Amino acid sequence: MDNAEIMKFMMSNLLYIVGGMGVLVVIMYVIIINLYMNISYLKKRYSQMMTGEQNGATFEQMLMDHITETRGVAEANAKLRAENQRIDALLQQAITRVGVVRFRAFQDMGSDLSYAVALLDSHNNGVVLSSIFGREDSRSYVKPIEEGHSTYTLTQEEEQALQKALQGHS
């Protein structure tokens, strides 16, 4: 097509071309008005948020409050962590394993009034307490336990109590 044909086509359809351009201009105006209203709404919301018209606190103040609160929570968390470590260290030394054996020390006594109790911490350190009841008297003994063993000779009942404690049974 040459320029003459294009000019002839445009002149014969000028009314349609102008009408189509007018419709496009109206559509563009509607889009521009819609965008203007959206931007105005967003500016209003932004202004409210930054000046605190909604609830009296500016956005900056709200952020600062949250940062302060977060720091407070972090400090409280650090204190709790330190307290937890202190309690863990204390529990390492607490009696966590107990073994009990009751027995009859003398054949002429009617029941098992004598006993041996092993009390150990989580490192298997502690004591074995034993008490022997007789008709005329009773005797109590304490023997230290280090890492599951005693430097003193243990009776059969004391050894049973120690084994129960080492196995975690009472």
- For 73-107, what is each residue's pLDDT tens digit? 999 999 999 999 999 888 888 888 999 999 887 77
Range of the domain at 133: 97-167
pLDDT over threshold 80, residue 23: yes
Give the pLDDT of residue 143.
94
Give the pLDDT of residue 54.
55
The angle formed by the CA atoms of residues 125, 86 and 123, to the nearest 5 degrees, is 15
Domain assignment present for 106: yes
1 or 147, higher pLDDT: 147
Asked if 134 contacts 65 with a C-beta cutoff of 8 angstroms, the reply is: no
Domain assignment present for 62: no
pLDDT over threshold 60, residue 144: yes
Mean pLDDT, rounded, for 52-69: 77
Domain assignment present for 131: yes
Residue 146 — very low, low, confident or very high, per pLDDT cuts 50/70/90?
A: very high
Domain assignment present for 58: no
Residue 169 — very low, low, confident or very high, per pLDDT cuts 50/70/90?
A: low
Question: Which candidate, 164, 35, 42, places its Cα nearest to that of 102?
Answer: 164
Domain assignment present for 142: yes
Domain assignment present for 120: yes
Domain assignment present for 154: yes
pLDDT over threshold 80, residue 57: no
pLDDT over threshold 80, residue 59: no
Number of domains in the chain: 1
Give the pLDDT of residue 36.
96
Over the chain, what is the mean pLDDT? Answer: 88
Residue 129 to residues 85, 121, 142, Cα–Cα distance (Å): 31, 15, 5
Give the pLDDT of residue 141.
92
Domain assignment present for 19: no
